[in-house]
Amino acid sequence: MTNRDSFSGRFGIIAAAAGSAIGLGNIWRFPYVCGQNGGGAFLLLYIVCIVLMGLPVMLAEFGIGRKAQSNAYRAFKILSPQKPWYLIGVMGIVASFTIMSFYSAVGGWTIEYVVRATTNTLSGNHDEMFDTFIAGSYRPIAYQFVFLAISVGVVVIGVRKGIESSTKVLMPALFLLLIILCVRSLTLPGAREGLIFVLKPEFSKLTGNSILAAMGQAFFSLSIGMGCMITYGSYIKRTEDLNYTANVIVIAGTFVAILASIVIFPAAAALNIEVESGGPGLVFKTLPGMFEQMKGGVFFASLFFILLCIAALTSAISLLEVVVTFCVEELKIHRGWATALVATSMFLLGILCSLSLGIMPHLSLFGVNFFNLMDFISADIFLPLGGFFIAVYMGWALKKRITVKELTSGGTVAFSPLRIFYFLIKYIVPVAILIVFISGFWK
Ligand code: PHE
């Protein structure tokens, strides 16, 4: 237990946890889910979910992880022996697999676009380009493999050296680039309409599933509800202020999602791209068109897709890490072998996701293709369900004394919103998740 790897300091933790949180969820998934659910009103719902549920659950996860100094499964066994809470950890491991199956497919797409951007072959009809690419048989899968192989490489090197050092540089660079792209997008002729779409809430545009989608998106984009932040919490030093760390990550993540929307929607409006039906291809169809209209477009396109790819990698790494730490600590498998084994299984499931968008469109369940099904089950069901149990656990099962001690880092830092935190984690989070579930499925 004493030789667990740990993050070196405050910036290291923030960079690594933000690296997990900020990824395809904010830049690829947010704009298209927001587009399907009417724009501004969805953005508002998303922010409400982040504040009321996201922040408290993230804090709870950090607290549990740091207190137990263990993986998500063992953490519950240590803190509450002989109780079935460890099943939260088991569910998180299942969620890692389902998320990674489609996440690695999209990660592979980013590599294809890096190659295209850097070789200046990104021009033409972008709708068609994307559709023929994902419908093709082997290229998406080959790139999916490459994406997973790189993630394996980083995870094998280890937490501190691998994860921390790669995210420290990336995160600030990503912010900067997004801001540059916002400026370009907003100054395109016809961009105004897109900006109105995302900033002006029109509640009539929300559909029956929008609240569930907003909640799922909030959990997904913060990497919470599946033990990822429990695992990262266990690498945080005892003296660090968890509340501060969680706040920075939540604010940064939300900011990136909003920035991404301010890039995508105005650009889509200017280029006449349908955002409501854009689906998973939205970012890949919209942005190349925008880059074409930019001075130095090839340079910016290359930079953007490289950063998107790295942002995806730092999140994929955290997904892998959850399962790998479990295999190393519980099943006593060597780290290298564990990583290879887990990634291979994820790849096999991921192939099905890729094929369901390509040559095997009939690969579907309940009328939904496999890719969308994995996405839906992971983000809209597993993560909020995990969040529900984590909140119930911390609010009702874990002794308050332990929580307070952890959140104040043993009494060394002040945690003034303790009352609000308890109110949210005990009542608001579980009840809200239940209501959203019931309203989402009771139709
Ligand atoms: N939060 C990541 C993203 O936005 C995805 C993720 C979800 C990573 C859950 C880890 C756990 O891309």
Query: For residue 258, what is the domain's CATH number?
Result: 1.10.4160.10
In a domain, 229, yes or no: yes
What is the 193 CA–ligand 1 centroid distance (Å)? 30
CB 380 within 8 A of CB 33: no
410: left (phi over 0), alpha (psi -120 to 50) or beta: left
Q: How far is the CA of 204 from the centre of ligand 1 (A)?
A: 29
Domain assignment present for residue 60? The answer is yes
pLDDT digits (tens, 9 = 90+) for 314-323: 899 899 989 9
Q: How far apart are CA 220 and CA 375, in angstroms?
A: 10
Model confidence over 15-61: pLDDT tens digits? 888 889 999 999 999 999 999 998 999 999 999 999 999 999 999 99
Residue 159 scores a pLDDT above 70: no
| Of residues 3 and 101, more confidently modeled | 101
Whole-model pTM: value is 0.94
pLDDT at 339 over 80: yes
Is 162 or 418 the better-scoring residue by pLDDT? 418
**pLDDT(89) > 60:** yes
Q: Which of 49, 100, 219, 318 to mutate to test the pocket of ligand 1 (most atoms within 8 A of CB)?
A: 318
The answer to whether the beta carbons of residues 415 and 247 sit under 8 Å apart is: no
Q: Is there a contact between 254 and 176 (Cβ–Cβ < 8 Å)? A: no
CA of 296 to the centre of ligand 1 (A): 31
Q: Which residues contact 416 (CB under 8 A, 6 or more apart)?
A: none
CB under 8 Å to 199, separation ≥6 — which residues?
40, 43
d(CA 232, CA 421): 20
**Domain housing 235:** 10-440
Contacts for 158 with CB less than 8 Å, ≥ 6 apart:
5, 335
The answer to the question of residue 4 being in a domain is no
Count of structural domains, the chain: 1
CA distance linking residue 182 with residue 294, whole number of Å: 12
Would 1 be classed as within a structural domain?
no
Residue range 417-426, pLDDT digits in tens: 999 999 999 9
pLDDT tens figures, 65-83: 999 999 899 999 999 999 9
Nearest-atom number in ligand 1 for the CA of 25 is 4
Q: Is 117 part of any domain?
A: yes
| Cβ of 89 less than 6 Å from ligand 1 | no
Q: Report the pLDDT value the prediction gives residue 5, as an integer from 0 to 100.
A: 64
The predicted structure's pLDDT at residue 42: 96
The chain-wide mean pLDDT, for the chain, equals 91
| Cα(204)–Cα(220) distance, integer angstroms | 25
In a domain, 357, yes or no: yes
The three-state DSSP-derived secondary structure of the chain is CCCCCCCCCHHHHHHHHHHHHCCHHHHHHHHHHHHHCCCHHHHHHHHHHHHHHHHHHHHHHHHHHHHHCCCHHHHHHHHCCCCHHHHHHHHHHHHHHHHHHHHHHHHHHHHHHHHHHHCCCCCCCHHHHHHHHHHCCCHHHHHHHHHHHHHHHHHHHCHHHHHHHHHHHHHHHHHHHHHHHHHHHHCCCCCHHHHHHHHCCCHHHCCCCHHHHHHHHHHHHHCCCCCHHHHHHCCCCCCCCHHHHHHHHHHHHHHHHHHHHHHHHHHHHHCCCCCCCCHHHHHHHHHHHHHHCCCCHHHHHHHHHHHHHHHHHHHHHHHHHHHHHHHHHHCCCCHHHHHHHHHHHHHHHHHHHHHHHCCCCCCEECCEEHHHHHHHHHHHHHHHHHHHHHHHHHHHHCCHHHHHHHHCCCCCCCCCCHHHHHHHHHHHHHHHHHHHHHHHHCC
Q: What is the pLDDT of residues 193-220, one digit of tens each?
A: 999 999 999 898 888 789 999 999 999 9
Tell me if 223 CB under 6 Å of ligand 1: yes
pLDDT per residue as tens digits for the range 378-404: 999 999 999 999 999 999 999 999 999
Interatomic CA distance for residues 105 and 108, integer angstroms: 5
Best CA proximity match to 37, nearest among 265, 315, 219: 265
160 — alpha (psi -120 to 50), left (phi > 0) or beta?
alpha
Length of the chain, please?
443
Mean of pLDDT values over 365-381: 90
- Flag whether 2 is in a domain: no
- pLDDT on residue 2: 41
Q: In degrees rounded to 5, what are phi and psi of residue 364?
A: -145, 160
- Domain contains 5: no
Measured by CA distance, the residue closest to atom 11 of ligand 1 is 223
Mean predicted confidence (pLDDT) in 282-290: 92
- Statement: residue 1 has pLDDT above 50: no
pLDDT at 168: 75
Which of 99, 315, 322, 385 has most ligand 1 atoms within 8 Å of CB, for mutation? 315
- Close Cβ partners of 10 (under 8 Å, ≥ 6 residues apart): 240, 245
Q: Is the CB of 318 under 6 A from ligand 1?
A: yes
